[in-house]
Amino acid sequence: MQIRQLERVGIGVFPTPFEPMPRLQTELGGPKLFVKRDDMTGVALGGNKVRQLDYILVEARKKRADYVITTCGVQSNWSRQTVALATKMGMKAMLVLRTAQFKSKPSVYDGNILLDHIMGAKVRVIKMRINEDPTPILEEEADKLRRKGHRPLVLGPAASVSPMATAAYAYGFIEMAGQAKAMGVTLDAVFVAAGAGPTQAGLILGAKVLGMKTRIFGINVGAYSAERLNEVILRSSEGAAKMLGTDARVKKSDIIVNGDYAGEDYGITTEESNEALRLVARTEALIIDPVYTSKTMAGMIGMIRKGEFRNDQNVCFLHTGGVPALFAYKDQFQPKRG
């Protein structure tokens, strides 16, 4: 394996833990189960975006930016982690947050948006779905800052699906495979949330670089169509492969996106996702989130219960973080009265 080492900011705690899940395995009676703890990347409650932003924000350092402007939903993990790394780098953050799955702007800050505010981010909430493009508003805010003498870096919707974000998770897969090998484990499958696509793209590319046949199962969480996810994965992995200087390439036949667990819409929980969230909490004390990882876990559990894996196979769940959003969904997890 020879791939180029890209420059990184150096913020975040890596490698993240790779752990067995024996009690969940016993509960399900299926394959050997593991979890890759990218919820423990070490900055502002962690998450997979720290791994990606560690490379993406090199541009901010090179351009001597003093502000980072970005966007996502009001309960965005990407936005929280962008604010966190910007803060650690001595920059300020401006967020343009879409209401996304919520019908109105929040009257009370909770979950991720509360943490954004506590870390000092300037927050503007707009009524817009997660799959709509707020780029003109980002540029409007950037122009305001430039007129005041600031040097903002704009991370629009394309930043989170960039080849750089994908390259970060090619490295992430290599890290995970090395940890598994040290435990005498060869990974047969990895489950990951298919939100926008680059994390799954990076995992597939990383497996290709290592010449491994690990299947990467993306569980669609309902933000985008399978067609769009396929297009993003192919495009971003191609760019990442060129960045890394590898001949490995992701083909359409390598992409697995399962849409059976997305539910009604992005950010809308399902009976299966809520059951999965409770089950892993009560077997492994593993806390997952209601938007991404619970639907992913529901997909993994559902496929195991359907007999999709042999008992001698090794299956890993990539915990991409997002736990702060759980507190914005607290009404769904209250004890029954009476």
208: domain CATH number is: 3.40.50.1100
Residues 37 and 183 in one domain: yes
CA atoms of 90 and 9, how far apart (whole Å): 12
> In this predicted structure, what is the pLDDT of residue 1?
65
Q: Are residues 37 and 72 in the same domain?
A: no
Task: Return per-residue pLDDT of the chain as tens, 338 residues.
Answer: 689 999 999 999 999 999 999 999 999 999 999 999 999 999 999 999 999 999 999 999 999 999 999 999 999 999 999 999 999 999 999 999 999 889 899 999 999 999 999 999 999 999 999 888 999 999 999 999 999 999 999 999 989 899 999 999 999 999 999 999 999 999 999 999 999 999 999 999 999 999 999 999 999 999 999 999 999 999 999 999 999 999 999 999 999 999 999 999 999 999 999 999 999 999 999 999 999 999 999 999 999 999 999 999 999 999 999 999 999 999 999 998 87
Last residue of one domain, picked from the residues 112, 127, 160:
160
Q: In what order do the strands lie in the sheet with 215-220?
A: 18-20, 32-37, 314-319, 189-194, 215-220, 256-258
| Token pair listed for 51 | 């791994």
Same domain, 41 and 109: no
Q: What is the pLDDT of residues 24-80, one digit of tens each?
A: 999 999 999 999 999 999 999 999 999 999 999 999 999 999 999 999 999 999 999
In angstroms, the CA 286 to CA 315 distance is 16
Q: How far apart are the first and last CA of the chain?
A: 60
**Do 229 and 326 fall within a single domain?**
yes
Residue 7 lies in a domain: no
Domain residues for the domain of 220 are 18-48+161-333
Instruction: Give yes or no: residues 91 and 180 share one domain.
Output: no
310/237 same-domain check: yes
- Residues 153, 169 within the same domain: no
Q: How many CA atoms lie within 13 A of 65 on its CB side?
A: 25
Residue 75: inside a domain, yes or no? Answer: yes
* Pair (257, 303) in one structural domain: yes
Q: Are residues 172 and 246 in the same domain?
A: yes
The total number of structural domains in the chain stands at 2
Q: Are residues 81 and 168 in the same domain?
A: no
The answer on 172 and 28 residing in a single domain is: yes
Could you list the active site residues?
A: 76
**Which one-letter DSSP state was computed for residue 286?**
-
Query: What are 20's strand-pairing partners?
Result: 34
